[in-house]
Amino acid sequence: MTKTARSPRKLYDRFLILIFLAAIGLPPLVSAIENHFGENKGRQNWEKREFVRFPGWPQSVESLATFPEQFEDYYSDNFWPRSHLIRWHNLLKLIGFGLSPSEKVIVGQQGWLFYGDRDALNAYRRVNPFTKSELEQWRILLEKRCQWLGDRGIDYLFIIVPNKSTIYPEYMPSHIRRDARESRLDALVNYLETYSDFEILDLRGALLAAKQRDRVYHRTDSHWNKPGVFAAYRAIFAELNERFPGLTPLELDAFRREQIRRPGGDLAMMLGLENTLKEDAIRFSAMFPSRFRPASPGIVKADLPENQQPFATEIDDRQLPKAVIFHDSFMLNLGPFLSEHFQRAVFLNQYEFDREIINRERPNLVIQEIAERTLMGSVPQD
């Protein structure tokens, strides 16, 4: 065979070698660049976890033996096109076939997404109803907390935020059936009305009424939007005013309403599609100066990330009450509204009833806010 006949074959072989080297070398190189400049932070955010870090070069025979497996885990997790391929797969599955790429996200009708973890789904389907024993445990728990606080001159307000699917069942997938029996929230409210003087602030009525005027939950987020937050605030304020007469409510016309286009919410982020599944929302801009200022909560939770740490607000007005507020993520947009009515408010992102903090703060009011899906778990023991 002549030299000229062999040349194309050699060029082809060299080309394959270059492609192979690029395939195995480019991804870690690009990943290293992204890590250095922080370009992969968004990926960590929507996948809700930390990615495997480079294990370091082996320094001993023992570490050399485990290095291949550790490097494989690192490479699989940080393979450069990985996040892009996942997004393209999710987009194809969602848009092309109407299927959810994540077991934690339910694809509803007309572009609505719903939180699909087991508790949220079971709450919607109304399976696993309360037993009589569980309802009695809830009654005893709430009454004991109320009594313990009352002995110290502290009021107690227990708030339940309804699931998005409770307010907008019409957008849930038609194949997910609901039992005709009462929900756990209905059962608890009815049981307390019958066997106790303790009253829960059930926000369903306020949100269903507001739903007639505005959309009150985001389409691509598990949480309420600003109209929903404001409807909840007015219902809570009515309770505050009964306990502390003389408080002045915030009025809707004190806010400038602005229609905006925003990236998708937490459910879209779980799919890595927040920049694809955008939605319209209403922004509230206060046309008055806020009275409260940030303050030290006096506590740090070592087991919580920075965005879930306790926070506090204060107003220089000794005539106002003080509060300790136990809550989940629904309170984050509600907090600024409530902070306008407290001399000091300490917000703790937890469901536990923390007596130590209450004794230290000596508030006039303890607010405990939980999401409806929380009722699907076991009865708190504290």
Q: Are residues 122 and 232 in the same domain?
A: yes
What pLDDT sits at residue 54? 66
Q: Pull the structure tokens for residue 361.
A: 């703060």
Judge whether 229 lies within some domain.
Answer: yes
Side chain identity, residue 122: N
For the chain, the average pLDDT equals 87
pLDDT at 182 over 90: yes
Q: Are residues 74 and 111 in the same domain?
A: no
308 falls in which pLDDT band (50, 70, 90)? Answer: confident
Judge whether 12 lies within some domain.
Answer: no
d(CA 262, CA 235): 27
Judge whether 1 lies within some domain.
Answer: no
Domain count, the chain: 2
Q: Which range is least confidently modeled, 27-36, 58-67, 293-302?
A: 27-36
Q: Are residues 127 and 44 in the same domain?
A: no
What pLDDT sits at residue 37? 46
Q: Are residues 197 and 272 in the same domain?
A: yes
Query: Which of the two residues, 298 and 89, has the higher pLDDT score?
Result: 298
Q: Are residues 145 and 208 in the same domain?
A: yes
- What lies within 8 Å, CB to CB, of 225 at 6+ separation is 215, 216, 217, 218, 281, 282
**113-169 pLDDT, tens digit each:** 999 999 999 999 999 999 999 999 999 999 999 999 999 999 999 999 999 999 999
d(CA 164, CA 161): 9
Q: Are residues 181 and 306 in the same domain?
A: yes
Q: Are residues 64 and 188 in the same domain?
A: no
Q: Are residues 229 and 345 in the same domain?
A: yes
How many residues does this entry show for the chain? 382
Q: What is the mean pLDDT of residues 217-232?
A: 97
> What are the two backbone dihedrals, phi and then psi, of residue 155, each rounded to the nearest 5 degrees?
-80, 160
Q: Are residues 353 and 222 in the same domain?
A: yes
Helices (H), 175-218: 184-195, 204-211
**41-81 pLDDT, tens digit each:** 445 454 555 666 766 777 777 777 777 777 777 666 655 55
Q: Which single residue is written with the structure tokens 């307000």? A: 157
For residues 137 and 182, is the Cβ–Cβ distance under 8 A?
A: no
Side chain identity, residue 250: L
Q: Are residues 58 and 179 in the same domain?
A: no
Q: Pull the structure tokens for residue 248.
A: 């002045």
For residues 379 and 134, is the Cβ–Cβ distance under 8 A?
A: yes
Judge whether 256 lies within some domain.
Answer: yes
What pLDDT sits at residue 39? 44
Q: Are residues 177 and 76 in the same domain?
A: no
**340-349 pLDDT, tens digit each:** 999 999 999 9
d(CA 70, CA 53): 9
Judge whether 7 lies within some domain.
Answer: no
What pLDDT sits at residue 85? 62
Q: Residue 41: give the domain boundaries.
A: 24-80
Q: Are residues 71 and 146 in the same domain?
A: no
Judge whether 324 lies within some domain.
Answer: yes
Judge whether 39 lies within some domain.
Answer: yes
Judge whether 225 lies within some domain.
Answer: yes
pLDDT at 187 over 90: yes
pLDDT at 231 over 60: yes
